[in-house]
Amino acid sequence: MEEIKLTGERRREKLLEWLKASSPLTGSELARRASVSRQVIVQDITLLKAKNHAILATSQGYVHVTPSDEPTARSIIACRHDRDRTEEELLLLVDYGVSVDDVIIEHPVYGELTALIRVGTRSEVYEFIEKITSTGASYLSELTDGVHLHTISAPEPGRIEKACEALRKAGFLIED
């Protein structure tokens, strides 16, 4: 792909085009395409979000969300496990056709902290785990002794119910 130098509004228009055509795309990839620094891309994405463009920053890169991407069923679940069982938990969910949108913890100082995950397939789970491992990053749940919430979504409620039952059997789900 031939690199082109774009400026201002035209660059942001191209960012939207690229994200709508193929996402997720990393900030580095967008920067390469636009012949600017990654920091310029971060600023452009912030400006696009301020103009109400539905762009999410995920562990795989930036994603443009359209209304047709929206699932019909969504739920927030409470889980607990140690670091070593994270992959098992995520794979269990995606194997039932459930996407894991985020992880949420209640930090004693900062309050509620949320991080987007956006994994819906086994390959996305493996990429997420590899990114955590290769960077030496911690999971948010490590700050709360493994206790965390997930927003999960699926095309139909039955998938969420089946996934929750499997989480319960595996000892992940925290219930009243």
Q: What is the CATH number of the domain that holds 93?
A: 3.30.1340.20
Residues 55 and 13 in one domain: yes
13 is in an annotated binding site: no
Contacts for 121-127: CB closer than 8 Å, 24+ residues apart: 121/94, 122/91, 122/94, 122/95, 124/60, 124/94, 125/87, 125/90, 125/91, 125/94, 126/87, 127/59, 127/60
Q: Residue 1: what pLDDT?
A: 46
Direct distance between the N- and C-terminal alpha carbons of the chain, in angstroms, rounded to an integer? 54
Range of the domain at 12: 8-64
Q: Residue 100: what pLDDT?
A: 95
The domain tally of the chain equals: 2
User: What pTM was estimated for this model as a whole?
Assistant: 0.66
| Residues 148-163 pLDDT 10s | 999 999 988 899 999 9
Residues 100 and 158 in one domain: yes
89 is in an annotated binding site: yes
Rounded mean pLDDT, 44-58? 84
| Residues 3-12 pLDDT 10s | 556 678 899 9
53 is in an annotated binding site: no
Do the beta carbons of residue 173 and residue 78 sit within 8 Å?
yes
- Is the pLDDT at 54 greater than 90? The verdict is no
Residues 82 and 38 in one domain: no
Give percent of the chain with pLDDT exceeding 90. 59
2 is in an annotated binding site: no
Rounded mean pLDDT, 11-28? 88
